[in-house]
Amino acid sequence: MTHEPTPDETRHWRWLLAYHEAGHVVANLALGGEPGGAVLIDDGAGGGLALCGYNLRGAQDAILRAAGPVAAEVFADNFPPPEKSEAVCAADVAAFGISPEPALSQTEIAKWRQDHARGTSDARCLAEWAIEGRENEPATWAGRVAWAQWQARSLLFENAALVLAIARRLFLAGSVSRFDVMLLISAPAQSASADPAAPAAQSPRERQRS
């Protein structure tokens, strides 16, 4: 018998997804990638897509892949999801200039569905990186995965307020464009104040310069 998720379970799952994609977006910035957006795909499969990180390779891509699951695991229970209401959305739009939900191209949607069907998950890509070139050294695989996860955790903790701000907007609007992300980077103090309990943090770009 199929379990029908309750509204609270649906909200919690959407909040985990929002943090997951926000983790990718922020890690991409911290690793020197160009600002990119993200979208939650409400098609019944319950997934999301971070439109960033295309220029990252090797260890940097591994850290980017690790950042999504790490963000959901570490941060999602620290703050409750915001109330998904028109009033809250309107306040966010007024404060941060949130753009309309960016339309995904049919190519991007098709690729997401293909990857989802193939099981090309973050965990799988991370495992493939850990094994590549070390096929005869299985004792090193787990350590390489743990290293990427630790690096991701460090980047995300340094930018915790930005992760929260992006996750909130993803949860509320279903998407965050790269222009939204650039706006949040340019006003980190304002983005942190969106939740009085959120920790203050510099933007990844500022940390790179300091």
Q: What residue segments make up the domains of the chain, in order of their start?
A: 9-209
What is the chain's pLDDT, residue by residue, as a tens digit (210 residues)? Answer: 667 778 788 888 889 999 999 999 999 999 999 888 888 876 555 678 888 888 899 999 999 999 999 999 998 787 777 775 544 444 444 444 444 444 456 666 666 566 555 556 888 899 999 999 999 999 999 999 999 999 999 999 999 999 999 998 888 888 888 888 888 888 644 433 334 334 444 446 444 444
Asked if the 9-209 domain carries CATH number 3.90.930, the reply is no
By the 8 A CB rule, do 39 and 104 touch?
yes
In 3D space, the residue among 207, 159, 162 whose CA is nearest the CA of residue 183 turns out to be: 162
Q: What is the pTM of this model?
A: 0.77
Burial tier of 1 (Cβ tally within 10 Å: 0-12, 13-18, 19+)? exposed
Residue whose structure tokens are 């309990």: 197
What angle in degrees, to the nearest 10, is found between the helix axes of 141-158 and 58-75? Answer: 60
By the 8 A CB rule, do 160 and 154 touch?
no
Number of Cβ within 10 Å of residue 30's Cβ equals 25
Here the tokens at position 200 are: 């203050």
> Dihedrals φ, ψ of 49, to 5°?
-145, 125
By the 8 A CB rule, do 169 and 98 touch?
yes
